[in-house]
Structure 1
Amino acid sequence: MAWVFLLIAGFGEVSAMFFLKMSNGFKKITPSLFAVLAGGASFYFLSLSLRDLSIGTAYGIWTGIGSAGTVLLGMLFFKEPVTQKRLLFISFIISGIIGLKMVS
């Protein structure tokens, strides 16, 4: 279950960043509330995963999911540039996540 909790935590991190962007600097109440709730849920599920996973592995994967997912969301929803270099470096992050999973 630790890996499931970590995956949920990663998606919670991506959701929190999405709603944080939508909140316009906490000026919009509904997205602000969702950002705080998603962030809290992300930390909660990360803490559950830490019962069985090493902190280095769990944190690395959690931040990797958050980073790669947030960049992809930015490209899809906020018209951020899609370039070969950005996609290359996202693939490096994803490779690191897979590598950490394989060695733990």
Structure 2
Amino acid sequence: MDWIFLILAGCGEMSGVTFLGFYSASKKKLALVGMVTSFVFSFSLLYLSLQTLPMSIAYSIWTGIGAAGGSLMNMWIFHESRSFKRFFFIFLIIIAVIGLKFVN
């Protein structure tokens, strides 16, 4: 269950970053509510996953999902640059997080 909490926490981080993009573009209160709700959801589930998972692994996976997923979502929703370099570095984030799990 702890891994499910962690993955859902990462998805909440991803959606919080996406709502942050909506809020910075429009300054609408609904986007602000979505952002705060997503981050509260994310932190709550991260807290639950940290009850059994080591913090070094859980935090790196949570951050990796948020960073890589947020970047991909912003490319898709806000039409940010889709250069090879961006995809390459997102790939490196994912590989680094997987590597941390196997090294532990």
TM bracket, shorter-chain basis: over 0.9
Q: How many Å separate the matches in 2 of 1:24 and 1:89?
A: 24
Any stretches of 5+ residues in structure 2 without a counterpart? none
CA offset at residue 25 of structure 1? 6.8
Name the SS of the counterpart of 1:23 in structure 2.
Answer: helix
Percent identical pairs in the alignment equals 44
Name the SS of the counterpart of 1:24 in structure 2.
Answer: helix
| Residues 57 and 26 of structure 1, relative CA distance in 2, 3 Å threshold | farther
Is it true that 1:62 corresponds to 2:68 in the alignment? no
CA contact (8 A) 1:26 1:32 kept: no
- Counterpart residue type for residue 17 of structure 2: M
- Counterpart residue type for residue 85 of structure 2: K
TM-score by length of 1: 0.93
Name the SS of the counterpart of 2:24 in structure 1.
Answer: coil
Q: How many Å separate the matches in 1 of 2:71 and 2:27?
A: 23
The CA deviation string for residues 17-74 of structure 1, in whole angstroms up to 9 with x for no partner, is 1111111378211111010000000000000000111111111111110000011011
> What is the number of equivalent residue pairs in this alignment?
104
Is it true that 1:42 corresponds to 2:35 in the alignment? no
CA contact (8 A) 1:9 1:45 kept: yes
Please identify, of 39-48 and 24-33, the stretch whose mean Cα deviation from structure 2 is larger: 24-33
Any stretches of 5+ residues in structure 1 without a counterpart? none
- Counterpart residue type for residue 9 of structure 1: A
TM-score by length of 2: 0.93
